[in-house]
């Protein structure tokens, strides 16, 4: 009997590919290389090995999200997102330390580039968290589409959910919808067309908006002065 690293879903199960999320992971680590060398918490070769391992695990063991996805598969996805979160938080702290230092070694251009990279990575990582946590994740959302009795209360309300006439039948938010929402929250520092409903959703939005505000107002203002 051939080995299957993930359960075979029913033929009628809804699916959502994990490949777009894996692509965003690659992009986030590509942005990582634009940062000054002293911002990198681990050596370059070790980081490359870690990225290759994480992407391989995602593609091989969690190629798509569906109703039959096991808990350990979801945990693997969350570990990958958490790794990006920790790395970006470290970079943000290092940037703030550089700004507060009397002997600030970075030029204005480096400050602006670093702030832009950290902000863009923030958009990606929070978009991935919203996608993974809303209503229990893509797997649970797929299960609810196959069986309405499994539906959970939404953590975010998209316009199409309140006004079904705005979308085709069976519409549901995909990864790009959550990335767009993350981008909007990172620029407007508040909810725009998507409304948070649960406490954790509001808290996560506050963290993202606060970090974005810190970058845009403090870091960019200091960089302009240096220039």
Predicted confidence (pLDDT) per residue in 22-44, tens digit:
889 889 888 888 887 777 666 66
pLDDT number for residue 203: 94
Range of weakest confidence among 41-50, 144-153, 180-189: 144-153
Q: Is residue 8 part of a domain?
A: no
Q: Is residue 2 part of a domain?
A: no
> What does residue 3 show for φ and ψ, rounded to 5 degrees?
-80, 135
Domain that holds residue 51: 15-226
Closest residue by Cα to residue 67 from 175, 142, 154 = 142
Is 15 in contact with 65 (CB distance < 8 Å)?
A: yes
pLDDT of 8 over the 50 cut:
no
Q: Which two tokens stand for residue 195?
A: 């409304």
Q: Is residue 1 part of a domain?
A: no
pLDDT of 116 over the 70 cut:
yes
CA distance 173 to 179: 10
pLDDT of 227 over the 60 cut:
no
Number of domains in the chain: 1
pLDDT tens digits, 45-98: 677 777 788 888 777 777 777 666 667 777 888 888 998 898 888 888 888 877
CA distance 4 to 2: 6
pTM for this structure? Answer: 0.83
Q: Is residue 3 part of a domain?
A: no
Q: Is residue 63 part of a domain?
A: yes
pLDDT number for residue 7: 42
């Amino acid at each position: 009997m051939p080995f299957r690293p993930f359960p075979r879903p029913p033929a009628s199960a809804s699916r959502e590919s994990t490949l777009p999320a894996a692509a965003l992971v690659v992009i986030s680590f590509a942005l990582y290389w634009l940062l000054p060398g002293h911002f990198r918490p681990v050596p370059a070769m070790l980081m490359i090995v870690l990225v290759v391992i994480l992407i391989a695990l995602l593609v091989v063991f969690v190629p798509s999200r569906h109703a039959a996805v096991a808990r350990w598969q979801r945990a693997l996805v969350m570990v990958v997102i958490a790794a990006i979160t920790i790395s970006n938080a470290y970079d943000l702290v290092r940037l703030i330390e550089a700004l507060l230092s009397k002997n600030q070694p970075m030029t204005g251009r480096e400050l602006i580039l670093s702030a832009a990279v950290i902000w863009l990575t923030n958009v990606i990582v929070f978009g991935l968290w919203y996608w993974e946590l809303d209503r229990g994740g893509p797997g649970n959302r797929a299960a609810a589409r196959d069986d309405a009795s499994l539906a959970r209360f939404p953590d975010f309300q998209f316009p199409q959910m309140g006004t079904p006439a705005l979308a085709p039948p069976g519409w549901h938010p995909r990864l790009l919808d959550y990335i767009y929402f993350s981008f909007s929250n990172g620029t407007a520092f508040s909810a725009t067309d998507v409304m948070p409903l649960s406490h954790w959703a509001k808290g996560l939005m506050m963290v993202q908006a606060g970090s974005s505000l810190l970058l845009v107002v403090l870091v960019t203002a200091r960089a302009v002065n240096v220039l």
